[in-house]
Amino acid sequence: MRSRISAFLRENTLYKNSLYLMMSNIVLMGAGFLFWIIAARIYGTEEIGIATSLFSLLSLLASLSVLGLGSGLMRFLPTSDTKNEKINSSILITVCTSLLLSAAVVLALPQLSPSLAFVTHNNFFFLLFVFFTVTQTLNFLIESILLSFREGKQVLIKNILLSATKLIFPFVLLFLGAFGIFSSIELGVLISVVYGYSILTILHNVKYKPTFHTASVKQMSFFAFGNYISGLASSAPTYILPIFIINVLGPTSAAYYYIVATTSNILFMIPSVVSQNLLVEGSHNENEIKIHVRKAVKLLAVVLIPAIMGLIIFGNYVLLVFGKKYSIEGLHLLQLFALSAILVSANYIFGTVIMLLHRIKLLILLNVIATVLILVFSYLFLHMGLVGLGFASLITQAILVVLYIIIFARLKLLSLLLPSS
């Protein structure tokens, strides 16, 4: 039986790397749960809210700094004859962007978010925030590079290292308050990034030089920039909402929201992982996109539906581990997020197919529409409290599914998702 499973996974790299990435995300989320349980017990709720908002800001800046080059590498690195050039150029561009962007934003924090302005007033915090932003940017990039080499196993090992190390620091950095929580996460990221780039050298003989290879960047530029705008539009609410909540509802509500969002990511990581591998496998063999899409849909159905039911039924107990208040304030929001996971999965698959077919402008348009909708609905429903954000998400994802179906029908692409007759 074991040999059959091994043979099956060798022949189906989408399943194999999806499995590794799901395990990787399960490890990250399991450690994340434990991390936030520890933090919730030894730090105050307000400190949790400030730390999560600070981390959301850093993640947004790192995502901006990648400039879509992660997607560009996954799309073009598998068949490239200039792998080193593409990797080195991407590292140089993203590091420079991250340095400039993070420094500028920190200086503007007193106007952007007064609750986070303490970073500006402390040179040590200032420098660490900039350094950690660069580290997080490199973390996003290395995962894309490893995936393009079909090294899902190394992503798993890297994230096990990240998860194990970050659990140590909350106790050590307790004296730093909210910034100690934030730094604990990023120190774990730093250690895992060093491993990721080192293993890439060992396994694939990648040599790092601060060089800019014009031809390599030019080949990736349109695809990368298109996916950058699209991905930014798609992920912006994830990073903006915690800052919005802390400014409008305060740090305590921001803490409740972040814990629920982190919990629901158990579900959202499944379609994210599957669609990443769909992009890689489709890039390796564009003639078999239809086959890979159907494999992805089957995998999502098998894994996601039981996970959704489990979180809806037992979500109360999951949130209780963070404290009774988190369960009381966050349960209904968690259940709404869980329901939306089906729609989110459909949109991930739709979006990846659009990406593989190089209809980048269309993908940008749809993700911009989705971002505008979620922000507008969140603003309109915020008077309902945090649960209003759940309704905003559910309605937005439903509208997006309808738009994708209409577009796929017009482009005669629905056959990619339908069973063979």
Q: What tokens appear for 231 in the block? A: 């991905």
pLDDT at 234: 66
Statement: residue 323 has pLDDT above 50: yes
Give residue 15's pLDDT band: very low, low, confident or very high (50, 70, 90).
Answer: low
pLDDT at 203: 86
Average pLDDT estimate for 356-376: 83
Cα angle: 228, vertex 234, 238; to 5 degrees: 115
Give residue 421's pLDDT band: very low, low, confident or very high (50, 70, 90).
Answer: very low
Statement: residue 260 has pLDDT above 50: yes
pLDDT in tens, 275-317: 766 766 666 565 666 777 777 778 777 888 888 898 888 888 8
Contact 132, 185 (CB under 8 A): no
pLDDT in tens, 66-81: 888 877 787 777 776 7
Burial string for 221-259 (b: 16+ CB within 10 Å, else e) reads bebbbbbbbbbbbbbbbbbbbbbbbbbebebbbbbbbbb
The 8-class DSSP code of residue 206 comes to -
168 vs 32, 164, 182, 183, 184, CA distance in Å? 12, 8, 13, 11, 8
pTM value?
A: 0.65
Average pLDDT estimate for 88-99: 91
Ordered by start, the domain boundaries in the chain are 2-416
Out of 107-111, 217-221, 285-289, 404-408, pick the least confident.
285-289
Statement: residue 6 has pLDDT above 60: no
Statement: residue 382 has pLDDT above 50: yes
pLDDT at 1: 53
Query: Between helices 45-66 and 214-248, what is the axis angle to 10°?
Result: 160
User: C-alpha 389: how far from its chain's center?
Assistant: 19
Average pLDDT estimate for 184-193: 91
